[in-house]
Amino acid sequence: MNQQFEIIQPPEKLADGFLRFAKSIHQKTIDRGAKFTEEEMAEIFNNSFPGISRTNVLFWVADINKFINTVNLIISDLEDLKTDKNSLKGDPVIRSEFLFQSFFGEFFKMREVAKLYLKIFKNLKLLNNTNKEDFFNFYQRAFDWVYKIRNEFIHLGMEMKNFDVDFDIAILNEFSEEDRIKFIKAFNEENTRKNTVEFQCAIYIKVIKYIMEKYIELQSLINETLADLILSFEKHNLEVTITENK
């Protein structure tokens, strides 16, 4: 079954800030007796902490969801190859390795995306230098093990061999009975990389899904933490104000 990861949603607790901002704009429109132009609205929104802070949370979530959709495409192709190694054009071994390596490339891009947004939140005074670095270091430490997995498969020569593919037979218990029978048959027929590529794709899929589950869990926690910081900052440091344009 081709399991797709669902996109994540921005923290619901931030929605009230948009509503308060809209009400403030509406009241100011009544007070001044004229509507704000689209350009004035954009300037007001972009110069307000409630507006710009929430917008950047939404942008970060959008970047994360683009990554999730990309991973879903990678998993979908690997699922096709797992079902039938001849389902896609080209050499299935080369394609499966490319897909697996592409996942890690996309995954590590998200580290740089996180660094960018944490810098934005620092510039908004939501974070200082110390807790910005704490956030990023926490983010890094949480996924040190992903680097190790990537290195084992790609850089340290531990990728599967072309002939006499060796593996712990206990891993077959991780798959359905139908898949176990299929994989064992392939090994018995011809124990080569190309003939057992469907089994290798199944391994790749399991690794990717495990990493993604942990990543989405952590990122959701970070999103909620940022939302709490935004609400706390607003409560103790400012009131939503609209500068009158004359």
> Residue 243 above 50 pLDDT?
no
In a domain, 86, yes or no: yes
Distance CA 223, CA 11 (A): 7
Looking at the domain assignment, is residue 56 inside a domain?
yes
pLDDT recorded at residue 203? 85
Averaged pLDDT, 35-56: 69
> What is the dihedral sign for C-alpha 46, 50, 53, 57?
negative
Does residue 89 sit within a domain? Answer: yes
10 Å CB burial of residue 179 (0-12, 13-18, 19+) is middle
pLDDT given for residue 212 in this prediction: 94
- Overall domain count for the chain: 1
Q: Would you tell me how many other CB atoms lie within 10 Å of the CB of residue 65?
A: 16
Each residue's pLDDT tens digit, 192-237:
677 678 888 888 898 899 899 999 999 999 999 999 988 888 777 6
Q: What is the pLDDT of residue 107?
A: 92
Q: Percent of the chain scored above 70 by pLDDT? A: 67
Confidence of residue 81 (pLDDT cuts 50, 70, 90): very high
* pLDDT at residue 144, rounded to an integer: 84
Task: Residue 221: give the domain boundaries.
Answer: 14-237
Region 150-169: what's the mean pLDDT? 57
* 7, part of any domain: no
Instruction: Look at residue 204 and tell me if it is in a domain.
Output: yes
Which amino acid belongs to residue 74? Answer: I
Residue 2 domain-assigned (yes or no): no
Mean pLDDT of 83-109: 90
* Span of 13-27, 161-175, 229-243 with lowest mean pLDDT: 161-175
Residue 200 in contact with residue 160, Cβ under 8 Å? yes
Query: Are the C-beta atoms of 127 and 135 separated by less than 8 Å?
Result: yes
3 in a domain, yes or no? no
- The pLDDT tens digits of the residues spanning 113-156 come to 998 999 999 988 888 888 888 888 887 887 888 888 887 776 54
Whole-number average pLDDT of the chain: 78
In this prediction, residue 236 carries a pLDDT of 73
All residues at 6 or more sequence positions from 176 whose CB lies less than 8 Å from its CB, including other chains:
none
Query: Span 159-168, mean pLDDT?
Result: 52
Residue 181 lies in a domain: yes
